[in-house]
Structure 1
Amino acid sequence: MGAVKLELRCHQRIDGISVDPDPDWKFDSLLSELNSLETKLNTSAKVPAPFIKARPRDFSNEKSANTSRRPFVMRVSEDEMEDTESKVEEDRSLVAAKRFNCDKIYLSNSDDSDYESDLEFQSYLVGEVGSVEGALCELTHEHKLDVKEEIRNRISALETDLMGQSEKSSSALTRVERYREARWEMDRKLDTHYQRKIAEALDNHLTAVQRDHELRSQIEERKIRSDAAYEEAKRKEKALQEEKLRQEKAKVESEARLRAEEAKRAALEAERREAKEAAEREAIATSTRVAARVAQEEAAGCQMEANSQTSNESKGFASDAAKKSQSASNVLSAAESALNLEQGRLQKFKEIDERNQALRLTYNKDFSSYERHISRLIKQISGTKEVVREKSCDIIEIFKDPLCPQSISIAAFAKKVVSHCESPDIDAFACGHVIVLVTSQVPHAMDLLLAEFHRACIYTVPKHIMYSKSTFESKEAYYKAIGYKERDGKIESIEDYLGRLGSYMKLYGAMIQTEVEGVRNEHGLKEGWAWIARFLNTLPANRYTAVALCAFLQVAGFALFRKYKSQFMKMLSIISNNFLEALKARQEPGLSLTIAEIQSYMEDKMFLKEPKGRGLQGSLLSSVMVPEPGYQESHYRPPPNRYSYH
């Protein structure tokens, strides 16, 4: 679209009015000039009345607000060039005629039609005014074109903006849709997760309810069983009471019979003794009379010879007895006090054994079931407080059983405890606790137990027997005397014997060092200190005594050091300086390992560390998992006295 600059082909001034005074006017200046021109025309008499405008000319200034000021130049598009040229020719014809053939014209921003009809009604115009009106028409047309262009531009801009807004809206809707789908997927996942959690919680709850129901049913069953057991126990107890009364009655009757029989036997024995003594007295008297007669008949020389020979024989017998006593003192190594204690305990053991044999004959009953029960209880001993307390109470209950004499059950207890040392899985400290708890209730059981220890292991006395050909008939006899056992006609090996020897000494050491609060140990640390003093003072240093001392120190050394402190350290110094040196000087095969153990015990100060297993465990898992606190009490009723551990 090109630009065309219009020039009026007429006089520049008509009746003193400039037609185009300034071709480069701005649009605002032109408007103000046109307004002034209309005012002059309206006041002039030469202008006919029909030309007067009904309202003043008012061009919109909206375009000037958005565009910059520029000279008044009309721009015509190429498709409008022909119309423009035709209009120029018409303008030229009008100028030549010096008049406008137009009707009444009303110029405004919206009037762009009915132009030809106006010319028909208005056929008289002054020639001088026609050029101005033509210019105004051109300006009006240009303004309309500009307004249309602006409207088209604004419509295009609005369409572009609308399309952009539509795209933004569609993009926003797409994002919203994606967000909605994402939220829906997230909600679905959360809902699935929550449903899974709810299902798991419900399953756990149902499982817990079922478990609780099963536990309650088990508790009810246990209560029913306990009630049944309690009724059965009451029935058995009643039967036992009746049996006890019957046994007591039978016992009284049997004792009366025994007393009568014993009195009868005693009377018969007294008669036999009297008869025997009378016969002996008569024989002695007869021999005396015969000897007197022989003596009178023999000569004095023969009598002197007989007297000298008799004196020589008596001297020979005296020398043999002295030799035998001297050899016996050289064979046996022990303290006199220890031998006296051993003799007293063995004497009590002999008396009780004889009494038990008489009771078995009297009752004519087999008590082996009680012995097996005691043996089973001892084998079940383990290193927990509950087990130790339970087994101790069970053994004491057996001692109090009226159907079994107490001497028989005590002897069985002592025998089974000592023989349990041969078991490889023995817990010495737990057995020591059971021994102390049982003997605190039955004190005379300790003497029988110590007698069994002395019979099984001579080093618990302590004493040692040396080999002597004049004293022992053979090596086998000597081995049996010091405690070797015979199996299948063969004496056991020295390794087996030393293993049993160490087990006996460990149990003995565990027993003397056991301390239970509120319970008196009948053979405690004081006896352990006396044992080690007698051991070092009287026993020689050899392989047997080294094993015994090492086992005793490993178990009881911690407790002895805790009580005697510096005195125990002096004792260890004596062992290091005297006993170990004597062992090293012997250079016996197999002795180096025991020497190394004793040296390691003293050098590493093992007596400062509590031996493993000395402190009993608190409880078992089975006792922790009891369903009700009263369940265990309903099944177990402890004896009158209780024990406490710390």
Structure 2
Amino acid sequence: MEAVKLEIRCPQMVNGIGLEPDPDWSFKSLLLELDSLEKKLNLSSSVSLPFAKTKSREIYGEKGTKRSSNAFVMSVSDEDFEDSEGENEKVRDRGLVKAARFNCNEFYFSSDDDSDDQPCLDVQTLMNEVGLVESALYELTHEHQLGVKEEIRNTISALETDLMNESEKSSSAHTKVEKYREARREVERKFDVQYQRRVAEGLDNHLTAVQRDHELKSQIEERKIRSDAAHEEAKRREKALQEERLRQEKAKAEAEAKLKAEEANRAALEAERIAAKEAAEKEAAKSSKANTSEVPQTEASGGPNATSSRVENDKTNKSELAGNMLRAAESALKLERERLQKLKELEEINQSLRSSSNQNFDRTGRLIGRLIRQISGNKDKVSTQASELVKIFNNPHCPQTISIAYFAQKVVSNCESPSHSAFACAHVIVLVTSQFPQAMDLVLAEIHRACIYTVPKHISYTKSAFESKEAYWKVIGYKEDDGKIESTTDYLVRLESYMKLYGALVQTEVAGCQNVHGLKEGWAWLARFLNALPANMYTAVALYAFLQMAGFALFRKYRSQFMKMLNFISENFLNALRSQDDPDLRPITSKIQCYLEDKLFLQEPEGRTLHSSLLSNNMAPESDYHGPYHQQSRHFY
């Protein structure tokens, strides 16, 4: 009987594990291998497996009997040989039989020599019996192997099932973890959004609080600035009032100095007259002694002639002294006296109004001063300021004479400021005086009182007329501060400012308004100046400032006549300056010469045409003279 090898109808390898174990393995080795396989699966999984074994695996048979892990031994009796087929069927139905040994008690070898065929028969029988035993043994072994293989397949199938379940559980757990992570991310994102919203709200609240604090601080600073400005304005007003009082006191002192100078002149003239009279009497006495017989006739005939000659000599000496001291045209002096008289009468009227009224008019003066300081080279600004000034003049609560007096004072005092716009200020003066013509003479009187060269006139220094040089400087317009006379440089700067205002005033023309002191008066001023005034430092600065402002308009109107004036200046005035050979006169001489040679009178002066809109820099400050004559220098008389 041939052995039949059965093949397992399943893959030979699963996950690197062979399904066809070695038939020579023992059960113990198989169990150890299975346990190691389970341990590897447990170690490879991140989650504890539910089928992990805690004790050694046991193998049971079909009838529930525990199988040993050792090799088995089969025992076959003699009766089994008789019915091998029946026995074989029964053996197939039985499970594995554990035996301690394999016995063939029924087989024996006979030594009977009587029969020759008996050994062969016995051997054949034995071989047949041995074949049956081997077949049964093989069947049992095969059945055992099939059982072991089935057990292995069941175990492997269970392991695969557990592995698949565990994989599904892992996938499910992984999916849950991912969902949890996504949920956490969503929660964290919501928390981030809420946190960012809270941060934004907190930042917005903080910025709002900072802005509120900044606005509060700004308001406090503005209030402080306004308070400081009000305090400074009050101090400035107080200082202005003090300066005004000092100016009035200085004017009185100057008037007294002039009166003293006139009295000194009269005393000198009287002394000369007395000396001449005494000399005439001495001569008459000598002649009477020499020729006594002819004395009555000489006295009778020569008395009236001598008296008349003495009077004529007195008049001649007086005119010569006045002519040497004061240089001016008689018409100019007459106009000056008339304007100053009007100003004096106006001041007397205002003084009586202030004394009779309990109202304080200083507020009106401050308002007028502020409006004049705000004048700039802009048409709209000029018109606005002029309209405001006209409203103040028409204000019934303040007398018009007081308003006009304040206007004249503030206009003249403001022209000393570095930011002063002469042309813009001249436009305001023309606009106001076109409606109040009497104000023009008062403005001119204030200008004459501030600067004698606007008349024009010049006073020369003589020891007989002035007690000291300081007294002379006060008469011609030098300012005194705390008992100290200002420098020549400062005086020339102010002289230039006054002359520029006067030069801008005479050439200003406004549409629809009449300039009562127009270009005709400027032409008269230039003629009187060149005819009467000497050439020196003061007159040169005055002439150059006037030509700068009014030369353009004079040339446009008078053309050839103005050119004759310029030729006279070049041939006479400049030559007179050069002849003095004074280094301090060279800068101003060069400026006048450049003005004539470069024909600057053909160019419109800066600021003459007002702008129609505000500029970032309306008017540049007037550049100061820089030259030796602006330094402290000796005086010219």
User: Structure 1-normalised TM-score?
Assistant: 0.47
TM-score, length-scaled by structure 2: 0.48
